[in-house]
Amino acid sequence: MQDNDSDTWDEDVKEIETNPKEYIAIEHPDSRESFKFMEEFTAELPDNTRIKAILIAALSKRKHFRELNMI
């Protein structure tokens, strides 16, 4: 499966290189923006759900990104 993913990626890269004016680069958000996205996403989840409780707990810890990667 990994080879197939690599082939697909190669096709995408070739398409972008062939038609660069058809695409725009999107900047990677910094850690504060990423944290804000996760807070907003978590707030949108239905109350009293397990995933919301897990995400709130992870976001409240000091090393929240590490905690989120463990979920």
Residue 43 has pLDDT above 70, yes or no: yes
The pLDDT, as a whole number, for residue 1 is 44
Count the neighbouring beta carbons within 10 Å of the beta carbon of residue 58: 19
Count of structural domains within the chain: 1
Residue 21 has pLDDT above 50, yes or no: yes
Residue 3 has pLDDT above 70, yes or no: no
Three-class SS of residue 45? coil
Q: What is the amino acid identity at position 70?
A: M
The pLDDT, as a whole number, for residue 4 is 63
Q: Which domain holds residue 55?
A: 2-70
Mean pLDDT of the chain, nearest integer: 88
Residue 19 has pLDDT above 70, yes or no: yes
Name which of 8-12, 35-39, 42-46, 66-70 the model is least confident about. 66-70
